[in-house]
Structure 1
């Protein structure tokens, strides 16, 4: 076979490979686009419904463009019916307080499990793993009795206290600490760096991506938490946003004020959407990278 024929065959195979890659990329992008539409459609429908009045919703439930834009009026009515400033304040205090407590407990515990050898270490770590097998619902009554016994019923501390210790964060941070090369730790010890200073100066910055990932997950979970805050509180002044949505529903003049309900839902989820827009790059990077780059 001549050199020209071999070159022609290579060109043809190269073109076929490029077409295959382009086709695969187009199919992948189409799947991603379809999945994005499926996931974003409910959110878009919430915004569309929040712009309509009750009559427009009942007459034209599937209309995308409202007959009259009522978003501002709906939002004013939502703000009038419930103390959303109190709900926001309580939710932020609980979410941030729980996160700080979880990090202060989980990071040293994970560091100890990954760097020290002590008696019954395996037993204690299995105990942490076993916590993942216990559903939160099964702990509802014990937690209620403990919080009530501590006279923390109907308090923000009573809402936050059962979430202070997190087994999953200990497991995540322990794995991240174990990925740090032992040579780095040995070098730090040779330079006179103690265990606590090593954890604060070297260890924590090295696992920053895992900390960011867990922090976002914890904040979102506490922001959306409903059942436990509802059980452990009774006054409106101690309620969080998720429970506040239920309180807003009880103030409805009719059973199907969908425009006001969707406006209230936007009020609850808007901070999470803003945070996602501003921190999406850090969120993705925290999940796809490990503690060592």
Structure 2
């Protein structure tokens, strides 16, 4: 006589481990980022603090972070100790000119490589990108000879012209333009728009985020450029801020006035902060939307 088997029971599954609250992970991430941000911000705060001290306080031991008295007059003293206004103006001219040149040439070259069809386009693009592997010191002597033949040595144009072309900027613009739907361009072409009109009225407005990103990077690099101006510029009236700060530091006869040097360095970093704050929204969007495509 057979015995009926009872219903099969599923084996007990182990209980899932308790999930960690999401806020705990966010709080830990914010804590780590805050500590790292403080370490990165510390040199800047130290520079500002020293710019408000006396020279005796800077040389005192043990060193102190906060000044005994806020010496705001260090800033006008630093401004008048050297032709700081001239150095500042030269840096603004060179940085804005270089940024404008890079944005114009990179946008036009990027549009050509992304949208126009002609023989050897991709090979030419790869060859242009290959120039990024050539270190700048290798190009110094040929560029100096070329600028000499053009009569641009010891001029601001001689600083702007070689830096107005960027293979990296062209790559960035091309990759972004490849992500723009072709239907927008084709609709404009059907309505009779020329390539130039499509480029100016359709492509450039859509490329605002990547243009801002490229502009910020280019401005920062040009503002802090030291080696090429050091080789090209010999007269005081054409020196840029990095050269001027070095000259200010080197011209001290007895001891370097570090409190004034720090004040001048604080002056020099302000335009960089302003440019980044004004363009950070587009900068983040440009980084997020620029992909490696095509």
TM over 0.5: yes
Asked if structure 2 preserves the Cα contact closer than 8 Å seen for 1:81 and 1:251, the reply is: no
The residue correspondences of 1:42-121 to structure 2 (distance < 5 A) are 42-70=43-71, 72-121=72-121
What is the aligned partner in structure 1 of residue 238 from structure 2?
Answer: 238
What is the aligned partner in structure 2 of residue 21 from structure 1?
Answer: 22
What is the aligned partner in structure 2 of residue 143 from structure 1?
Answer: 143
Whole-angstrom distance in 2 between the partners of 1:195 and 1:243 = 43
Q: Deviating runs (4+, > 6 A) in structure 1?
A: none
Whole-angstrom distance in 2 between the partners of 1:79 and 1:251 = 15
The residue correspondences of 1:1-293 to structure 2 (distance < 5 A) are 16-17=18-19, 19-70=20-71, 72-290=72-290
What is the aligned partner in structure 1 of residue 10 from structure 2?
Answer: none
CA deviation map 1:67-99 (0-9, x unaligned): 2222x2322321222111111111111111112
Whole-angstrom distance in 2 between the partners of 1:27 and 1:53 = 40
Asked if structure 1 preserves the Cα contact closer than 8 Å seen for 2:210 and 2:283, the reply is: no
Residue 225 of structure 1 aligns to a residue whose secondary structure is coil
1:282–1:254 distance in 2 versus 1, CA, 3 Å: farther
Q: Pick the structure with more helix per residue.
A: 1
1:173 shift after superposition: 0.6
CA deviation map 1:136-190 (0-9, x unaligned): 1111111111101111111111111111111111111111111111222222222
1:61 shift after superposition: 4.9
1:105–1:280 distance in 2 versus 1, CA, 3 Å: closer
Residue 70 of structure 2 aligns to a residue whose secondary structure is coil
1:37 shift after superposition: 0.4
Asked if structure 1 preserves the Cα contact closer than 8 Å seen for 2:209 and 2:286, the reply is: yes
Whole-angstrom distance in 2 between the partners of 1:164 and 1:57 = 41
Most deviating of 253-262 and 203-212:
253-262
Whole-angstrom distance in 2 between the partners of 1:62 and 1:282 = 41
1:268–1:110 distance in 2 versus 1, CA, 3 Å: same
1:61–1:253 distance in 2 versus 1, CA, 3 Å: farther
TM-score scaled by length of structure 2: 0.88
Whole-angstrom distance in 1 between the partners of 2:164 and 2:276 = 24
Asked if structure 2 preserves the Cα contact closer than 8 Å seen for 1:229 and 1:240, the reply is: yes
What is the aligned partner in structure 1 of residue 9 from structure 2?
Answer: none
- CA RMSD after TM alignment: 1.9
Equivalent pairs, count:
277
1:260–1:253 distance in 2 versus 1, CA, 3 Å: farther
1:194 shift after superposition: 1.9
Asked if structure 2 preserves the Cα contact closer than 8 Å seen for 1:210 and 1:290, the reply is: yes
What is the aligned partner in structure 2 of residue 5 from structure 1?
Answer: none
Asked if structure 2 preserves the Cα contact closer than 8 Å seen for 1:245 and 1:265, the reply is: yes
1:227–1:85 distance in 2 versus 1, CA, 3 Å: same
What is the aligned partner in structure 1 of residue 3 from structure 2?
Answer: none
1:263 shift after superposition: 1.0
